[in-house]
Structure 1
C-alpha cells in the first residue's frame, strides 16, 4: 500500500490471453493422457485378473492349459483336471496368421513398388482408391462373402466341407493386404531421394536400385508393415469364425475344420455364466490374445529402434 492505493501488477508480468490458452491447452492434453493411461491400465487389470482365475481359483494347471489338445470345460479327464487344452486354438491362430501374411506380403510389396517406383501417377489414381475401399469394408461383409463364395470354391476344388485353415487364411489375406500395402508405401516413400539419384548416377538400372538400395534401406519399415498385418490377422474374429468351421480340434491339414482363439471367444462367451470355469477359461484365452498383442507391439518397437539406429 502506498498513498492509500493498491499496487497494480505491471502489464508485462500479467498473463495475457495467449498464455491462458496455452495453460488450458496443456491442462487438457495432460488430462487426456491421464485418462488414456487409466483406461489402458484398467483394461489390463480387468483382463489379467479374470484370466488368471482359471489357474488361481479353478485349479487348472497352466502347463495343461497351454499344451492340452482337448477342449471341453464341462468334462473332467482321468487326472481330475477339466479338459481345457488351448493348444489347438493357439496353433490354428498362428497357422492362419502366418499363412495369410505369407500370401499377402508379396502382393503388398509388389503393389507398393508399383505405386512408388514404377508408375506413381497411375498407381495413385487406381490402386490407392482400391486399397482404401478394401479397408472400409466391414468384417461381417468379408465373412459373408467368404461363406458364400470362398467356402464353396474350396469345397469344389479340394473336396471336404470347404471349412478350415485355408479359407480362413485366404480371407485374411484380402483383409490384411491394404494394411501391409499402405505401410509398405509409406516406408518406400520415406527412403531419401538422393539415394535413388546416387544409384542412377552410378549406372544402376531401376530394378538394381530397388533391389540393392530401396529394399535394404526400407527393410525396418517393411518388417513393421508385415507385423502390423499379422497383428490385424491374429485379432480378427467374426470373418474367420464364419469360414473356419469352429471345431476345437488339433489341425491336421489346411482343409479340416478348426477354431482360433478369437472365434472360440465370440462363439462361446454368450453361452457361459460369469464366475464359472467355462467363463474363466475364455477370459484366459483373452489374456493370451492380450499378451500376443503386446508381443507384436514390442516387435514393432524393436524394429523401429533398429531402423533409427540404421539411419
Structure 2
C-alpha cells in the first residue's frame, strides 16, 4: 500500500507540474518537435529517439551476456568459481554511476575515437556500452535466482529422457524461468532508461536528432538534470513533461512484461 501511494503521489506531482507545458506548447509539438531551444522551442523528440536507441543498444549487448552468465553461475560453474564471480557481480551493482561515467570517459570514449577515427568519442555508442555494463548485475542476479529457484524435477526429468545437460538448460530450465528472467530484463531496461550521470559524461549531450550511433546525443534524463537548476516557467514545466514521458515509458514496459508473462503461461 505504501508503494502504491508513493508511486501515485510522484505521478500526480509530475503530471501537475508538466501539464502547463503541454497546454502552452501542445502535446504534438512537445513530443514530436525536433528542436529544443528554450524559451521558444520545446521539442523533445530527438531526446526520445536518443533514449530509445541507447536503451535498445544496451539491451542487445547486455542481456545476452547477462543471461549466459546467469546460466553459467547457476548450472555450469564450479562452486569455487561461482563463489568468486557472484560477489564480483554484486559489487558491480553497488558501483556509483559516476564511476561508470569516469570509466567510459577515460577508456571507452578514447577507444571509440581511435577505432572509428572520429574527432570526439562522446557518442551514442559510448552510452550504449556504458549502459550495457551497468545493466549486467541486475539481469544476472535476478536471472540466476530464478534458475536456482526451479524444482530439481525439471532438470532431472529432462536428463532422464536422454537430453544433454546443455539441451536441458536452454530448452527446459531457461524457458521455465522466463518469468523471473523477463523481470530482470525489465528492471535492467528501467535502469538504462533512467540512468543520468554516466550518460551525461559520455554521450556528448547534443539536443539534436542523431544520425548514427557515432554522433553525440542527449537523453531525456540528461536533459532534465542539465537544465532543471536554472529553468523557470514553461521551461521548467517542459522538463517535468519530459518526466511524464519517462513515466509513460516505464508504465508501458511493465504492462508489456505483465502481458508476456500472462500469455506465455497458457
Q: 2:160 aligns with which of 196, 201, 217?
A: 201
Residues 45-56 of structure 1: pairs in structure 2 closer than 5 A: 45-56=12-23
1:61 match: 26
How far the C-alpha of 1:267 sits from its partner, in A, is 0.5
Which runs of 5 or more structure 1 residues have no equivalent in the other structure? 1-32, 76-82
Compare 215-224 and 251-260 and name the one that shifted more: 215-224
1:223 match: 182
- The reply on whether 1:284 has 2:241 as its aligned counterpart is yes
Structure 2 contact 22–241 (Cα < 8 Å) conserved: no
Q: 1:107 aligns with which of 59, 65, 73?
A: 65
Whole-Å Cα distance in 2 between the matches of residues 125 and 223 of structure 1? 25
- The reply on whether 1:72 has 2:31 as its aligned counterpart is no
2:94 match: 136
Compare 287-296 and 239-248 and name the one that shifted more: 287-296
How far the C-alpha of 1:36 sits from its partner, in A, is 4.6
Q: 2:106 aligns with which of 138, 148, 151?
A: 148
Whole-Å Cα distance in 2 between the matches of residues 72 and 178 of structure 1? 37
Deviation digits for residues 211-243 of structure 1 (CA, Å, limit 9, x no counterpart): 221122222322222121111100001111110
CA-based RMSD of the aligned residues comes to: 1.6
Deviation digits for residues 273-310 of structure 1 (CA, Å, limit 9, x no counterpart): 2xx12111111101111121222222333344456x45
TM-score (norm 2): 0.94
Deviation digits for residues 60-90 of structure 1 (CA, Å, limit 9, x no counterpart): 1211112111111223xxxxxxx21111000
Residues 1-311 of structure 1: pairs in structure 2 closer than 5 A: 33=1, 36-56=3-23, 58=24, 60-75=25-40, 83-160=41-118, 161-273=120-232, 276-306=233-263, 309-310=265-266
SS of residue matched to 2:39: strand
Whole-Å Cα distance in 2 between the matches of residues 255 and 67 of structure 1? 23
Length, aligned pairs only: 265
SS of residue matched to 1:246: coil
Deviation digits for residues 41-73 of structure 1 (CA, Å, limit 9, x no counterpart): 3211110011111122x2x12111121111112
Which runs of 5 or more structure 2 residues have no equivalent in the other structure? none
Whole-Å Cα distance in 2 between the matches of residues 211 and 306 of structure 1? 20
How far the C-alpha of 1:119 sits from its partner, in A, is 1.8
Relative to structure 1, is the Cα distance of residues 147 and 50 closer, same or farther in structure 2, using a 3 angstrom cutoff? same
Relative to structure 1, is the Cα distance of residues 51 and 190 closer, same or farther in structure 2, using a 3 angstrom cutoff? same
Whole-Å Cα distance in 2 between the matches of residues 95 and 134 of structure 1? 24
Relative to structure 1, is the Cα distance of residues 187 and 247 closer, same or farther in structure 2, using a 3 angstrom cutoff? same
